[in-house]
A and B are shown apart, each in its own frame.
Chain A
Amino acid sequence: MVFERYRLEKQLRQLVERANALLSLLKSIDLTIDRGIHECFILRLSNELNAMLETVSSKLANCNNKDCFNEVSKSLLTISQYLAVLEGEVKRLRSLSEIELKILFREIFECKDQPLITLKFAPLFQFCFAEVSLGGVELKLKAAEEGLQRLQAGEGVHPRLHYVWEKILKHEEQLLNDARKKLTEIKEIIANQPCEALKMLSILTQSIDELRDRLEEYKTLRIEYFSPKAIESLIPPNADKIFESEEDVKRMLNTRIFERLYGLLYRTLPSVEAEKVAESLLEEYAKCVWERIKR
Chain B
Amino acid sequence: MAAGDAALGRLSGFYLGFGNFGLNLGLTILENCRDFRLNVDRFVKHVQILDFYPGAHFIELRRRRGLEPIIESSEGVTLNNEAARLSKCLTYRQLVDPEKLPYNIAAGVGSYWPLSAYHTRRGFPRIFTELKESLEKEAGRRISDFNLFIYAASSGGGTGNGSAPEFASQFIKELETTENLYAPHVFHMGVTVLPFMTDPRIGLAEPNTLTFFGRFSNIVKTIFIGDNHHIQATKKVNQEEAEGKLNELLAWSILGLFFMNYVHAGRYEAADYVAFFSTEGRSTWVVPAYTRFKIDELTRLLEKWKPGVPARSIAYQLKGNLAAEINTRYEARKLLIILSLPRALNLGGDFDNELRKVLSREFNVSEKNIHVAYAHIDVGSLVHAFAYVVDPFIQRVREIYSRNAHLLKDSPDRRKRLMDLVSRMRRTMPANIESYESDLASKDIEYIEASFSQFYKVFENYLANWGLIPERTDLNPHATSFFLDLLPKFSEPIVRLQQARRIRLEVVYIKEDEPDNLVDIAILLNSIRNFTVENYLLIEYADKTIGEMIETLHSIFTKAGLLTRPVLCLKLGEVYMPLTDRFFRYTVDELSSIPNLTISIIYFGNKKGNRLKGSI
A binding-site residues for B, Cβ under 8 Å: 32-34, 37, 97, 99-100, 102-103, 105-106, 109-110, 116, 129, 136, 198-199, 201-203, 205-206, 209-210, 213, 217, 255, 258-260, 262-263, 266-267, 269-272, 274-275
Contacts and interface: CB of A to CB of B under 8 A. Distances in A.
A155 B254 CA distance: 51
A263 B207 CA distance: 12
Contact of B478 (A32, A37, A199, A206): A206
Interface stretch (B88-96, B161-169, B215-223, B400-408): B400-408
Contacts of B275: none
Contact of B484 (A109, A209, A210, A271): A109
B406 A271 contact: yes
Contact of A217 (B198, B297, B403): B198
Contacts of B204: 259
Contacts of B396: none
B483 A34 contact: yes
Interface stretch (B240-248, B257-265, B308-316, B448-456): B308-316
Contacts of A106: 316, 481, 484, 486
B203 A263 contact: yes
A203 B475 CA distance: 7
A213 B484 contact: no
B300 interface: yes
Nearest to B298: A99
A241 to B, nearest CB: 23
A116 B312 contact: yes
B403 A271 contact: yes
B417 interface: yes
Contact of A199 (B202, B301, B312, B475): B475
Contacts of A99: 297, 301, 313
Say whether chain B's binding surface is mostly helix, strand, loop, or mixed.
helix
B403 A266 contact: yes
Interface in B345-376: none
Interface string B289-312: 000000001001100010001001
Contact of A100 (B197, B309, B404, B485): B309
Interface of B: 197-204, 206-207, 233, 297, 300-301, 305, 309, 312-313, 316, 402-407, 417, 420, 424, 427-428, 472, 475-476, 478-479, 481-486
Given A263-B203, A271-B403, A206 B233 contact: yes
Say whether chain A's binding surface is mostly helix, strand, loop, or mixed.
helix
Contacts of B484: 32-33, 102, 105-106, 109
29 contacts: A32-B483, A34-B482, A97-B300, A100-B305, A100-B309, A102-B486, A103-B309, A109-B484, A202-B475, A203-B476, A203-B479, A205-B479, A206-B478, A209-B233, A209-B478, A213-B197, A213-B198, A259-B424, A259-B427, A259-B428, A263-B202, A263-B203, A266-B202, A266-B203, A267-B202, A269-B403, A270-B405, A271-B207, A271-B404
A259 B201 contact: yes
A255 B432 CA distance: 13
Nearest to B423: A254
B475 to A, nearest CB: 5
Nearest to A254: B427
